[in-house]
Structure 1
Amino acid sequence: MKRQGFFRLAWLLALASVLLTASLPATASTSVESARIWPAPDHTRLVFDTRTPVDHTIFSLENPARLVIDLKNTDLKTDLDGLDLKGSPVKRIRSASRNGNDLRVVLDLDRDIKPRSFQLEPNQQYGHRLVVDLIQEERASLPSPDRPIVRDHGDGKRDIIVVIDAGHGGEDPGAIGPAGTLEKDVVLSMARHLKDLIDSKPGYEARLTRTGDYYIDLRSRTLLARKHKADLFVSVHADAFRSPQPSGASVFALSQRGATSETARWLARSENRSDLIGGVGGVTLGDKDDILAGVLLDLSMTASINASVGVGDYILGKLGKVTKLHKPGVEQAAFAVLKSPDIPSILVEAGFISNPREERNLASARHQRKVAEAVFDGIDDYFNNRPPPGTLLAWQKRQSGGGGSTEYRIRRGDTLSAVARQNQVSVQALKRANGLTDDRLIVGQTLQIPSS
């Protein structure tokens, strides 16, 4: 009898345990810890910080416009009502538990959008993230090709267009200094200073790829430069390295063969990884056969790289007067943002944000202005020596020549054809005026530029 009583008691205890477990609420395997929203001109990015990667689905509903985000085995541990929705197509965010263990988030929208979602691995600032992009196709940030882009001073004397690209932005902070200074904030401030300087000089006009704290993918940055008919593309960044010792500003141009130093290689990989947050693309020559397209692309890219190295030399000369230089010459690396075959493009690294002393400088508004002034002075000197044909600066240079010949000093990256084109004379005229029998030039050589 005692044995029967014992087994009966054990059975009752087991049954009670099962009933108690069934009555407890299910526990989600992950959670949404916080959220952020980043409105941009042509899209809005909503980011959920999750404890671990999350299984999710999204779908759109119409009349009224809504986006539904279902997160499996997830609970909500933040208040989505606190998000600032100003400037975004989101009117309201609602959330509720679904199927007892899932989370449903509903975005009430004021217009139709094209949704896109993906997950990001942890980085220096954030952990696991679920990113939802709301793409507003009717508000494309790229200007239409027939929109007037440049000021014309009459008789075809147009402005020189400089497109300034502040690196990173939004969910991509870039490098982070030891004291917490964010690269994306420093470079946007410098880009704004540089734009003001360029716009204040007659004969120039500047455009920014981004005007606020949001991300633009690398393909769109170069597309913006092309749409703006840029004469020069300047991408502004702040270096970081594994150790705090490296310091100094650098200027990079594109290398078709790869980086010129181990630091350049590491930096190129680091910057190009930012494209995981957007999308990658390139230039196509679809209307040409493979051989012709390859030749044209190679010629255009070579000319652009030569011009990029040339303007980089001028900028380095000015930067060296206001800050330490990391390397004395223009470095070359495979930065994706520089791969525009038809626009001279440079990347200015204003200093090492990973160096505590330089981080303090980069966070200083005074130092930011000094760097921006040095970059502009270099750009201005370059274009005053090599103004693009048809620009106000080219016309002013011809006028100051008084109809006679002028001198031009050969710099690194110059070619005879480029010098002839920029001075609006023929290659044969240059050869005759200087007694040249071939196209070879020597850095430091002085050419007489005949009047056309």
Structure 2
Amino acid sequence: MGRTSSFLISLLMWGLAVGAAADARDASEIRQVRFGGDDGETRIVVELSSEMEFRAFTVSDPSMRLVVDLPRAAWSVSGLETGEGLGYGLVEDFRFFDRSANASRIVFELDGPSVITGQFGIPANADNPHHRLVVDLRRVESVQAEAEAGFPEASNLSQLIAERVEAVYVPPPRERRVIVLDAGHGGHDPGALGAAGAEEADVTLAAARELQRQLEATGRYVVYMTRNNDTYPSWEERVGVMAEQRADLFLSIHADSSPSAQTRGAAVYTLNDRAESRARRIARQGANHTNLVEVNNILVELELREKRNQSAAFAEVMLQHLAEAGPLLQNPHRQANLFVLLDPRVPAVLLEMGFMTNAADLANMRSERARARQMAAVLSAIDAYFERNEEPGRNPVRAAQLTPIP
């Protein structure tokens, strides 16, 4: 793999021959995951927007898990935007991810040896508008659980590869995390304009420098800037810094504008579907995981999907901390087709600190004290994000290393 990639690829030890990972529209949404019963017998109910076939099975190595496979679905569970949640009864926690371009998977970590006693679907009805997938579990002795566990027999090698790989974030080994800060605009591009000749390019550079100062003062981070003066790096150059430094996180800093002088508040942006398609095309052109195009396409698909999950996770953490430093824009987690977020491997978020066209926001962005307070909130969010990933015994935020299951 090229030296600019921050993801490690570990594949099963066979020669790989897989079908192309074609794009697929999400046919159904997962709306809710519910639990019932106790730690002896537990029922899992997955609510869907439309009827879907599914398959459930258990695996026992390296840990006891229930795996639910279904056609490609969109995760739409309120409050669990990262696709992860805590369980109940026999279930410790669970996570959702796309295992290929046309298939999704939910993995439930179990707290002891268990077997499936039933799995079935319930169509929508007058009492519940959702279609439901139901899996019943029962705690048993280890010998029985291990005897009944295992992946269903795959019909071909492509299916085997698709079923037995999972995308998991494994940061490159290093003592200090690498953060790339991108101060928006600069040089010939002043960005949005505010009162008294204020330019977005100036406030973004001041904020990036303040955040760099605070990050480096902790001793936990190495910080690279895409610009440190009044110049205009191209979009390709900005993205190139994160690839060159094998960044753990990329943050682009901007300030917004609005026709209404009353509009104010911070917001964060992550990739939307259109931008993800652009990232997919770019990534496939440069993919070199293997010398098989079809395999590269599948690996790119996993990288993109899991990078998007990571970026969303960081965005949510950052909004929690930003809310303590000042007002947020209504619906502050937004998605957009932004070039600087396109690298398929590095978690990336764009921060809009406030509005150049709002007097209060502009005053805060030009105030050293207010700027330091807002950037301290961003620092706290970065700390919380990495602490969450590195907490012993906790499933990390998902990104893009491929590892066998089990």
- TM-score where L is the length of structure 1: 0.47
Unaligned regions of 5+ residues in structure 2, if any? 1-172
Q: Write 1 or 2 for the structure with the bigger share of strand.
A: 2
Matched, 1:363 2:370: no
Q: Deviations over 1:110-144 (max 9, x none)?
A: xxxxxxxxxxxxxxxxxxxxxxxxxxxxxxxxxxx
Amino acid aligned to 1:191: A
Q: Deviations over 1:84-134 (max 9, x none)?
A: xxxxxxxxxxxxxxxxxxxxxxxxxxxxxxxxxxxxxxxxxxxxxxxxxxx
Deviations 1:339-367 (A, max 9, x none): 01010000000001111221111111111
Match of 2:330, as an amino acid? K
Q: Which amino acid aligns with 2:305?
A: T
> Any idea what the Cα deviations from partners look like across 1:162-215, whole Å, max 9, x if unmatched?
000000001100100133211000010110111111112233211111010100
Q: SS of 1:233's equivalent?
A: strand
Q: Give the equivalent residue in structure 1 for 2:212.
A: 195
Distance in 1 (CA, whole Å) between partners of 2:322 and 2:404 is 34
CA contact (8 A) 1:313 1:329 kept: no
Alpha-carbon distance in 2 for matches of 1:407, 1:295: 27
The residue type paired with residue 192 of structure 2 is: A
Does residue 205 of the first structure (1) align with residue 208 of the second (2)?
no
* Aligned-residue offset at 1:292: 3.8
In structure 2, what is the Cα distance between the partners aligned to 1:344 and 1:313? Answer: 13
- Once the two structures are superposed, the pairs formed by residues 218-297 of structure 1 within 5 Å of their partners are 218-257=235-274, 282-283=282-283, 284-285=285-286, 291-297=294-300
Higher normalized helix content (fraction of residues): 1
Match of 2:352 among 346, 349, 356: 349
1:299 and 2:302 equivalent? yes
* SS of residue in 1 equivalent to 2:387: helix
Q: Does residue 331 of the first structure (1) align with residue 334 of the second (2)?
A: yes
Instruction: Give the 3-state SS of the residue equivalent to 1:326 in structure 2.
Output: strand
C-alpha displacement of 1:294: 3.4
| Alpha-carbon distance in structure 2 between the residues aligned to 1:181 and 1:296 | 45
How many equivalent pairs are there? 228
Note the 1:157-176 alignment, pairs <5 A.
157-176=174-193
Aligned to 1:386: 389
Letter in structure 2 aligned against 1:189: A
1:316, 1:328 within 8 Å by CA — same for their partners in 2? Answer: no
Report the residue type matching 1:254 in the other structure.
L
Query: For residues 197 and 346 of structure 2, what CA distance do their matches in structure 1 show?
Result: 35
CA pair 426-193 structure 1, distance change in 2 beyond 3 A:
farther
Instruction: Report the 3-state secondary structure (helix = DSSP H, G, I; strand = E; otherwise coil) of the residue aligned with 1:330.
Output: strand
- Closer, same or farther: CA 246–291 of 1 in aligned 2, 3 Å: farther
Amino acid corresponding to residue 304 of structure 1 in structure 2: K
Which residue matches 1:184? 201
Q: 1:336: Cα distance to partner?
A: 0.9
| AA of the residue aligned to 2:251 | V
Deviations along 1:256-283, whole A, 9 cap, x unmatched? 2469xxxxxxxxxxxxxxxxxxxxx954
Establish whether residue 340 from structure 1 lines up as the match of residue 340 from structure 2.
Answer: no
> Hey, what does 1:376 align to over in structure 2?
379
For 1:159 and 1:171, how far apart are their aligned partners in 2? 34
Separation (CA, whole Å) in 2 of partners of 1:338 and 1:356: 29
Distance change (3 Å), C-alpha of 1:317 and 1:427: farther
State the distance in 1 between where 2:274 and 2:178 align.
29
Distance 1:328 1:290 in 2: 40
| One-letter code aligned to 2:203 | V
What CA distance in whole angstroms lies between the structure 1 residues aligned with 2:282 and 2:275? 17
Report if aligned partners of 2:266, 2:332 keep a CA contact under 8 Å in 1.
Answer: no
For 2:294 and 2:404, locate their aligned partners in 1 and report how far apart those are by CA, in whole Å: 28
**Secondary structure in 1 aligned to 2:329?**
coil
C-alpha change, 1:351 and 1:329, in structure 2 (3 Å) is: closer
Task: Give the whole-Å Cα distance in 2 for the aligned partners of 1:427 and 1:233.
Answer: 30
CA contact under 8 A between 1:252 and 1:333: conserved in structure 2? yes
The structure with the larger Rg is 1
Shift of residue 291 of structure 1? 4.0
Distance between the aligned counterparts of 2:211 and 2:405, measured in 1? 35
Retained in 2: the 8 A contact 1:219–1:282?
no
For the Cα contact (< 8 Å) 1:247–1:358, is it kept in 2?
A: yes
2:182 and 2:226 in contact (8 A); partners too: yes
RMSD, matched Cα: 2.8
Q: Secondary structure at the match of 1:295?
A: helix
Decide whether aligned partners of structure 1 residues 229 and 360 sit closer, same or farther in structure 2, where only a CA change above 3 A counts.
Answer: same
State the one-letter code of the partner of 1:171: H
Change (3 A) 1:407 1:228: closer
CA contact (8 A) 1:168 1:215 kept: yes
Instruction: Work out the CA distance in 2 between the residues paired with 1:282 and 1:366.
Output: 41
Does structure 2 conserve the Cα–Cα contact (< 8 Å) formed by 1:258 and 1:334? Answer: yes
- Assess if the C-alpha contact under 8 Å between 2:263 and 2:355 holds in 1: yes
**Greater relative contact order, per chain length (Cα 8 Å cut-off, separation 6+):** 2
Take 1:300 and 1:171, find their aligned partners in 2: how far apart are those partners?
A: 35
Q: Distance in 2 between matches of 1:291 and 1:345?
A: 26
How far apart, CA to CA, are the structure 1 residues paired with 2:315 and 2:203? 21
8 Å contact kept, 1:254–1:305: yes
